[in-house]
Amino acid sequence: MKRKLLIPEGTKDYLQEEAFIQRSIVNKLLNLFTLWGYNEIKTPMLEKWDIVKKNNVYDQKFFSLLDKSGDLLILRPEITAPVARVVATHFRDHVTYPLRLAYAGEVFSQNSLKSGNRRQKTQVGTELIGADSIISDCEVILMALESLESNEIKGYSLGIGHMDITIGLLNELIEDADIREIVLESMINKDIVTIENILPENIKEKVMILAARNGGMEYIELVKNFSNDVKFKKAINRLEVIYKILEDIGYKDRVFFDFGILADFSYYTGLLFEGYGNGIGIPILRGGRYDNLIEEYFKSKPAVGFAIDVDLYMKSMNCKIDLPKSEGKIDNSNYIERFREARFAHQNGSIVEINLEDNKSEK
């Protein structure tokens, strides 16, 4: 019987050019993060399940396996929780915060393969730990924008949301817990029809503005009087300051607020954002604030960060990266000279290949 040489669904091989482009992109993004003071750390692809299961950090479907001693291991579905574990074990109180960290690597999940979803993805990301200032939110958002800008992501834009605004308002507006649950679920599933059908007129208008609209300062103006709750007001104020800064730096047309944006991982607490590129139907970049995650492992440390899906990023970029071309073959009949010439060329950074044929006389 003929064997089918298949690789697991949702994975792929990267041949020379694509592998080169991917590596270039990863390096370029890590270099960008280095300029902001974020240095790379590497964590294992395998984590012990009993360490990451806390607080339902992962409610997604992941790959799991057993080691010899019977411990359940998982292939990491993202890298933020591993970074939190690193902070709680290596850094603790031994370093000065804020701490700026970056990472690049593979993540795995068994989510539905629809929508071109993949089981193995490459992510590059940053985490800013131990800062909760407005400026720290701003730094991370600016890095996200620069990441999209640096390889000319086609028509890129960034949508910004906030948990305290969306969740806070839903809690305040909708008294019935069951209905609130349905509305929240519908917002996550982007089911506007159910939201319209289930809510009474007086509440509907406000919730629909959260779920179905977005925009710049005018959108904030529209939403800001929906509540007098202290946390809500504080969140609005933060976003206003952030917008002013982004506007003045020149990103006005690239950012918008959208309180229908909700988190993909349950550890997010405040700011949320998503980066988009033309022609890519899913966000290229996702991030936000997760002030309570590190507390699960160590003690309370505010934190904010984002991750870029490198494959989606590559699909959307305008910037062309070419595989370096060979400058020729070295076929000096003297074998030693052949390698000497090659070494000389390599030392000068030229790509040359050795002629692999033996001289005729020696055959």
Partner 1 sequence: MKNNKLVIALPKGRLGEEALELLKETGLPIDGVEVESRILQFEVNDVRYLICKPTDVPIFVEHGIADIGIVGKDTIEEEKRDVFELLDLGFGKCHFSVAVPKVLAYKFGSPFPLYQFNHKRVATKFINVAEEFFAGEGLQMELIKLHGNVELAATIGLADMIVDIVSTGTTLRENGLVEVKEIFQASARLIANRVSYRVKNEQLFKLTEDIKKIINKRGN
Note the residues at the interface with partner 1 (CB under 8 A): 112, 114-116, 155, 157, 159, 189-194, 196-197, 212-215, 256, 258, 260-261, 274, 276, 278-283
* C-alpha–C-alpha distance, residues 120 and 110, integer Å: 9
For partner 1, give the closer residue by CB, 105 or 159. 159
Q: How many angstroms separate the CA atoms of 152 and 95, rounded? A: 36
Kind plus residue range of the DSSP H or E element containing 130: none
- Shortest approach of partner 1 to residue 155 CB, angstroms? 8
Pick the closer one to partner 1 by CB: 82 or 275: 275
CA proximity to 47, closest of 26, 86, 15, 74 = 74
Task: Report in angstroms how near the CB of residue 317 gets to partner 1 at its nearest.
Answer: 15
For partner 1, the closer CB: 127 or 311:
311
Sheet harboring 120-129: ordered strands across?
Answer: 39-40, 99-108, 120-129, 303-309, 285-289, 271-276, 157-162, 255-257
**Which residues lie closer than 8 Å to 147 by C-beta, 6 or more apart?**
29, 32, 275, 285, 308
CB 9 to partner 1: min, Å: 17
- Residue 72 or 282: the one with the smaller Cβ distance to partner 1 is 282
Supply the minimum distance, in Å, between the C-beta of residue 153 and partner 1. Answer: 12
Minimum distance from CB of 286 to partner 1 (Å)?
Answer: 12
SS3 state at 162? strand
Residue 324: asked if its preceding bond is cis (omega within 30°), the reply is no
Task: Tell me whether residue 191 or residue 296 sits nearer to partner 1 (CB atom).
Answer: 191
Nearer to partner 1, 86 or 312 (CB): 312
CB of 315 to partner 1, least distance (A): 11
Q: What is the DSSP string of 2-16?
A: PPP-PPPTT-----H
